Chain A
Amino acid sequence: MQNALVPAQGGGTRHVISHGPSFAMLRLDLVPGQTVVREAGAMVARHRQVAMEVKLNAGKSPGFFATLKALFIAMLRRWIGGETFFVNHFNTPAPGSVWLAPTMSGNIVYRPLRGETLVLSTGAYLAHSGDVDLKLKFGGLRGLLSKEGAFFLAVSGQGELWFTSYGGIETIDVNGSYIVDNGHLVGYEGELTFDIRTAGGGLLGFAASGEGLVCEFKGRGRVYIQTRNLQSLVGYLTPLLPR
């Protein structure tokens, strides 16, 4: 078993990512006073003393309108797909573990956050701990043309983040500009700016090239991509279904 034990520094959460890269699973060892937040629906197992509480993700200390907005987005996302954006808070009165896994085959990445912002695509968020804020980010009108591009999740603060990919995960250090297929994008660092457009330019290119929408990144920073694309799997399976 390839158990990659990644020691967390500075009083972080002890965690183990195993069964990667194809079927990665995350184990978090919690001690009293520590809280871990994760995407609703990702729990595999937990010790019974680890308590779970469901919360609507409306950011840190939201006002009434922020809560209402979060609820609206949660419903919208339920309708268009992606996380419902209810999150589960785990904490424990005695040491205990919780095991988490994504739905698709793929890997899990651990990333400590030291005040920077990381923007994740729909479905890539798995869990976080510490003083971290999650904000939904609208991908723009063009982003609505594809499910992956409609919403992004901006993760910022001091703490730890675990995110997942469909397939393997590759990091690309962008300096200048770089183009990534929308469906293969996992996340990017906040200093980068991007524009969603068609790969070849023009509507015909969008329909005929099979490349769909792409994100063109500009600036300097890291982009995370996944080696598989859910829309491609769906596109492959659809004509094979019985009529």
Chain B
Amino acid sequence: MQFDVLYRPAHALARVWLQANESVVAESGAMVGMSSRVHMETRSGGFLSGLKRMFGAESFFRNTFTAHGAPGELLLAHALCGDMRVLEMTQAGFFLQSSAFVASTPNVEIETKLGGFRSFFAGEGVFILQAKSASPGLLLVGAFGGIEELVCDGNMVIDTGHLVAWDATLTYSVGKSGSGWIASYLSGEGLVCHFEGHGRIWIQTRNPAAYGQDVASLLPPRQG
């Protein structure tokens, strides 16, 4: 299997080359196009995990695409304008912000986790995803804006709305940005994620929630 990311960085499109009988798992709604030998199968992975995913602002179902009997291709896109990145699975795996998941090889286990109690107030990151695999695999993540890889060497503070993914070797905690709650509120930062340890962090250069709030505040109120 091979992932190519085209039309970077503003409107990335991923082309997945599948060998005969190879499969790829993708987020519901991500499919743009596919060759005719590729068949789609929808799975919730059990009612409970589907329900958990729904709370994580993802879809209840995930789709498995399989190239039956012959090689095939599949095109995938993210909902927002922005870049995509292919991550090679590591032993420790990754944590993902819930809307960053686009696709993965079928051996990658994606589990929904509670992102931390405090993040509840931010309306984002209530649930995060953990990607793990016992064998080599690929993970495709999507972002709003550009994707920048930061190396955490000690500790870093990142706005929760700008997080895409991070190495599971890092420890993290969600908390306030400033020294006190009032200062944090006035600073306009809301909640941030404190990272400790050594590992990579991928960030997106735009914050989808902040963008939505900015534009929505200028729109007329919803009726009914």
A45 near B203 (CB under 8 angstroms)?
Answer: yes
> Given A19-B145, A23-B146, A237–B156 Cβ distance below 8 Å?
no
Which residue of A has the minimal Cβ distance to B81?
A105
Residues of B near A43 (CB, < 8 A) are 159, 177, 187, 189
A45 near B150 (CB under 8 angstroms)?
Answer: yes
Q: How far is the CA of A243 from the CA of B194 in the complex (A)?
A: 41
Chain A: interface secondary structure? mixed
Q: Determine whether B88 belongs to the interface, using a CB cutoff of 8 Å to chain A.
A: no
**Which residues from 183 to 204 on chain B have a C-beta closer than 8 Å to any C-beta of chain A?**
183, 186-189, 194, 201, 203
Q: Determine whether B107 belongs to the interface, using a CB cutoff of 8 Å to chain A.
A: no
Interface contacts (Cβ under 8 Å), in number, total 121
Q: Determine whether B217 belongs to the interface, using a CB cutoff of 8 Å to chain A.
A: yes
B162 near A237 (CB under 8 angstroms)?
Answer: no
Q: How far is the CA of A94 from the CA of B59 in the complex (A)?
A: 44
Q: Determine whether A24 belongs to the interface, using a CB cutoff of 8 Å to chain B.
A: yes
Residues of B near A81 (CB, < 8 A) are 217-218
Q: How far is the CA of A231 from the CA of B9 in the complex (A)?
A: 26
**Which residues from 46 to 89 on chain A have a C-beta closer than 8 Å to any C-beta of chain B?**
46-48, 52-54, 81, 84, 86, 88
Interface 1/0 per residue, A208-239 and B, CB below 8 Å: 00000000000000000000001101100110
Residues of A near B203 (CB, < 8 A) are 44-45, 99
Q: Determine whether B224 belongs to the interface, using a CB cutoff of 8 Å to chain A.
A: yes
Q: Among B82, B157, B187, point to the contact of A86 (Cβ < 8 A).
A: B187
B187 near A103 (CB under 8 angstroms)?
Answer: no
Q: Determine whether A157 belongs to the interface, using a CB cutoff of 8 Å to chain B.
A: no
A131 to chain B, nearest CB (A): 23
A237 near B219 (CB under 8 angstroms)?
Answer: yes
> Given A22-B9, A233-B215, A45–B178 Cβ distance below 8 Å?
no
Q: Determine whether A36 belongs to the interface, using a CB cutoff of 8 Å to chain B.
A: no
Which residue of B has the minimal Cβ distance to A39?
B188
Residues of A near B162 (CB, < 8 A) are 44-45, 101
Q: Which of B187, B201, B207, B222: most chain A Cβ within 10 A?
A: B187
Q: Determine whether A11 belongs to the interface, using a CB cutoff of 8 Å to chain B.
A: no
**Which residues from 16 to 32 on chain A have a C-beta closer than 8 Å to any C-beta of chain B?**
18-19, 22-25
A18 near B206 (CB under 8 angstroms)?
Answer: no
Residues of B near A234 (CB, < 8 A) are 215, 218-219
Residues of A near B206 (CB, < 8 A) are 23, 101, 103, 105
A45 near B205 (CB under 8 angstroms)?
Answer: no
Residues of A near B201 (CB, < 8 A) are 45
Q: Determine whether A204 belongs to the interface, using a CB cutoff of 8 Å to chain B.
A: no
A24 near B214 (CB under 8 angstroms)?
Answer: no
Q: How far is the CA of A45 from the CA of B158 in the complex (A)?
A: 4
Residues of A near B223 (CB, < 8 A) are 243
Residues of B near A54 (CB, < 8 A) are 178, 183, 186-187
A47 near B187 (CB under 8 angstroms)?
Answer: no
Residues of B near A109 (CB, < 8 A) are none
Q: Determine whether A141 belongs to the interface, using a CB cutoff of 8 Å to chain B.
A: no
Residues of A near B188 (CB, < 8 A) are 39-42, 84, 86, 88
A19 near B205 (CB under 8 angstroms)?
Answer: yes
Which residue of B has the minimal Cβ distance to A40?
B188
Q: How far is the CA of A1 from the CA of B10 in the complex (A)?
A: 12
Q: How far is the CA of A105 from the CA of B148 in the complex (A)?
A: 16
B161 to chain A, nearest CB (A): 9
B170 to chain A, nearest CB (A): 13
Residues of A within 8 A of B (CB): 1, 18-19, 22-25, 39-48, 52-54, 81, 84, 86, 88, 99, 101, 103-105, 230-231, 233-234, 237-238, 241-243
Residues of B within 8 A of A (CB): 9-10, 81-82, 145-146, 148, 150, 154-159, 162, 177-178, 183, 186-189, 194, 201, 203, 205-207, 210-211, 214-215, 217-220, 222-224
17 contacts between A and B (CB under 8 A): A22-B81, A23-B9, A23-B82, A40-B186, A41-B188, A42-B188, A43-B187, A44-B203, A44-B207, A45-B157, A45-B159, A53-B183, A54-B187, A86-B187, A103-B206, A234-B218, A237-B219
